[in-house]
Amino acid sequence: MIFNSLDYALFLPVVFLLYWYVFCGNAVRQNCFLLLASLFFYGYWDWRFLGLLLLAGAVSFFAGTAIDRSQSRGGNGRWALTLAVVVNLGILALFKYYDFFVQSFADIFLAGEADGILLNLILPVGVSFYLFQATGYCFDVYRKVVPAERDVLKYFTFICFFPQLLAGPIGRAKNLLPQFSLRRDFDVALATDGLRQILWGLFKKTVVADNCASAVNAVWSGDLAGTSASTLVAAAVLYSFQIYGDFSGYSDMAIGSAKLLGIRLGDNFLFPYFSRNVGEFWRRWHISLNTWFRDYLYIPMGGSRAGKWKTLRNTLTVFGLSGLWHGANWTYVFWGLYHGLLFVPAIFGAKRKKERSVVAEDSAFPSWRELCGMAATYFLVVVGWIFFRAPTIGDAFDYLGATLSPTLFSVPAVSGTPFIFVALMMAVEWFQRRGAHGLWRLPAFPRWARWIFYIAFIFFIIQNDGAQETFIYFKF
C-alpha cells in the first residue's frame, strides 16, 4: 500500500475515524489499534514478511531488556547489544547484499558464473528502515539515552508505526516512545497541518517527481551517445528534482499522516537545495538517516576529534556505508565516497563557519555570496546524482563525458512541463523556507486565499498525466 494510491486514500480515513472515535479512551487502546492497523498496512503488500518485521522487533526488544538487566547488575550488556546488531544487520545483509557480493566475487574470480550460489531473495520493502530503527533503540538503551521498554505493546507500536514503516523517517526511541506512553487527544491545529503536509507531499510526488521521471527515464533508456549534451544536462537536473520530490514528498506524507494521529515525527528534509555548501546539504537531506550514521557510527569511531587523517577516514567510511545502504550496487558506494571526498577541503582547510541559519533569513533574496554557494553546491550534488542513477560507474562517466560537447548549447529534447512544475515547487519552498514544509504558513493567509492554494494543488494532482512511479526509496 503506497501513499499515493486509492487503497491508502481509503485506509487512512478509516484508521483516522476508528482511532479518534472508537479507540480514543486510553493509550493502551490507541496503541493496540495502531499496531493492528500497522500490521495490516505492511501485510497488505506481502503478509509473509510480517514475520521478518516481528522477528527484528522481538530481537531488539529482548536485547534492550537484557542490556538494562545486565547494567543494573554491574555489567555493561555489550553481549546483548552485539547480538541485536549481528541479527538485525545479518538479516539486512542476507536479503539485500548476499547476492550482490556473491555476484561481484564471481565476476572477478569465476568469470561471472554464479549459478547455484545466488539466493535471488525478494527484498522486503522498508527492511533497511525498520532494522535501523530497531538497532538504534538498542544503542540508545546501551548508552542509557532511554530506559529499556518493558511494555511489549508500546514497543511494537513504536517499531511498526505505519506512516514511517516503509521509508522512514527513521524514528528515535527518545522522541517516539514517550508519545506512545500517554493517551493522545485530538489536536485540530496539528491534524490540519498534517492534511496540508500530505497535500504538499502528494504534489511533490505525483506532479513534480513523476513528471520528471517520465523525461528522465526516456533519456536513460535511449542512446546516450546519440543524445545532445543539453538534453543530458536537462535530464540530470530533472533527476535531481525527481529524487527530491519523490523522497521528500513521501516524508511529507508520512509526517502528515502521523500528525493526523497525534504523533510528531522528526523532520527528514529541510529544503536541501537551498544549501550554501555540501555540509549544509547533508544536514538538510535525509536527516533521520544521516543523524543515525553520525550518532551510531561516526562519533563512536572518533568523529572529528582524532586528527585530520582519521577524520577523513571516518568521513569516507560513513559516506561509503551510507551509499551501500542505499542499494546493492557499486554506483551507490561510489556516490557515497564522492560526497565524502567533497568534505576534504573542510577537513584539511581552514575552519569554516557552519551554516546554521536559513538562507536569506532577513531578506527576500539571497546575497551574491549565498547565491554562488547554492549554485556551486547544487552543481556538485547533481554530478553525484548521475552516479546514483546510472546502472554502472562506467555508464556514469560516459554520461558525464557526453555532456562535454558543442551540443551543450543546443535546445534540449525534453518537454518543458516538468520544469514548470519544478519552478512552482521551488518558488513555494523558497517562500516557506523558514518552516517545516511547503504549506506551513498558509494559516497566515485569508481563508479565501488558502482555499485557492488548496484547490490549485488538488487540481494539479488530479489532472497530472505523468506515469505513476513507485517511490524510489522503497527499493532501499
Q: Which of 286, 326, 339, 437 is catalytic?
A: 326
Mind listing the pLDDT tens digit for each residue in 58-105? Answer: 999 999 999 999 998 888 889 999 999 999 999 999 999 988 888 888
Confidence of residue 350 (pLDDT cuts 50, 70, 90): low
Same domain as 392, residue 262: yes
Q: Is the dihedral of CA 358, 435, 420, 284 positive or negative?
A: positive
Same domain as 98, residue 74: yes
State the pLDDT at residue 465. 61
Same domain as 228, residue 108: no
Number of domains in the chain: 2
The whole-number average pLDDT for the span 9-13 is 95
- The answer to the question of residue 426 being in a domain is yes
Return all residues near 98 (Cβ < 8 A) that are at least 6 apart. 119, 121
Same domain as 181, residue 118: yes
Q: Is 98 exposed, middle or buried (0-12, 13-18, 19+ CB in 10 A)?
A: middle
The C-alpha atoms of residue 47 and residue 64 are separated, in whole angstroms, by: 27
Same domain as 36, residue 141: yes
Helix (H) or strand (E) holding 473: none
State the pLDDT at residue 222. 83
Same domain as 260, residue 126: no
Q: Is 444 exposed, middle or buried (0-12, 13-18, 19+ CB in 10 A)?
A: exposed
What is the Rg, in whole angstroms, of the alpha carbon atoms belonging to the chain?
Answer: 23
Q: Pick the last residue of a domain from 186, 210, 233.
A: 186
Judge whether 339 counts as a catalytic residue.
no
Same domain as 176, residue 83: yes
Same domain as 272, residue 127: no
State the pLDDT at residue 364. 86
Confidence of residue 385 (pLDDT cuts 50, 70, 90): very high
Structural domain of residue 271, as residue ranges? 189-276+355-475
Same domain as 129, residue 60: yes
Cα separation values, 176 from 157, 179, 285, 404, Å? 10, 5, 21, 49
- Quick check: 304 and 311 in contact, CB under 8 A? yes
Residue 464 above 90 pLDDT? no
- The answer to the question of residue 158 being in a domain is yes
- The answer to the question of residue 1 being in a domain is no
Cα separation values, 309 from 149, 278, 315, 360, Å? 40, 19, 10, 34
Same domain as 117, residue 89: yes
Residue 467's identity, in one-letter code, is: A
- Quick check: 289 and 473 in contact, CB under 8 A? no
Ramachandran quadrant class, 392 (left: phi over 0; alpha: psi -120 to 50; beta: rest)? beta
Same domain as 18, residue 84: yes
Q: Pick the last residue of a domain from 141, 160, 186.
A: 186
Same domain as 471, residue 373: yes
Which cell is 403 given? 555532456
- The answer to the question of residue 300 being in a domain is no
